[in-house]
Amino acid sequence: QDPDVVMIGEIRDKETAEIAVQASLTGHLVLSTLHTNSAVGAITRLEDMGVEPFLLSSSIVGVLSQRLVRKLCEDCKQPVQADEASQALLGIESEVTIYHAKGCGTCFDQGYRGRIGLYELILIDEDVKALIHNQVGEQVMEQHVRKTTPSLRQDGMEKVLLGRTTIEEVLRVSHG
């Protein structure tokens, strides 16, 4: 059989990483998981596992990082004016209303009901391929992708401004 899409449960070692890269180089779309703190971290983790940068840059088309946060209960979330510290975390200077968890019968006094995803998607363009190939390091790559891709934390803060979750939830699951 010759599948179009290959799914690999999790890449944990060099052997699995090399199998994934080889499958990708032979025309298969490879989907897998890798435990890292960010999308850029997934690229550097594969390099650290021993995948050759020229192979990695030729085979990777995108990296998605995702985290789940608790969703504010729509029945009891409490509007509050963001203080200066919250405004700084949100990256804004103007007054804004955000929401805090309160708790009610609907959410069993938790203040949250359900979960929502925070996402960071890096599409690998020619510039990113060159950065991978040249092994520029995580910081340089992070600076480059931030020009076009919001981080997990930035996506989370957008969801705070929309009243879907809290700053505390975003800080709990995001790094940096």
Backbone angles phi, psi at 74, to 5 degrees: -65, -25
Q: Residue 4, exposed/middle/buried by CB under 10 A (0-12, 13-18, 19+)?
A: exposed
Q: Give the pTM.
A: 0.88
Q: Which domain holds residue 16?
A: 5-173
Count of domains forming the chain: 1
**Two structure tokens written together for 22:** 């080889």
Residue 84's contacts (CB-CB under 8 Å, 6 or more residues apart) are none
Amino acid at site 16: T
Q: What is the pLDDT along the chain (176 residues), one digit of tens a residue?
A: 789 999 999 999 999 999 999 999 999 999 999 999 999 999 999 999 999 999 999 999 999 999 999 999 999 999 999 999 999 999 999 999 999 999 999 999 999 999 999 999 999 999 999 999 999 989 999 999 999 999 999 999 999 999 999 999 999 998 76
Amino acid at site 13: D
The CATH number for 157's domain is 3.40.50.300
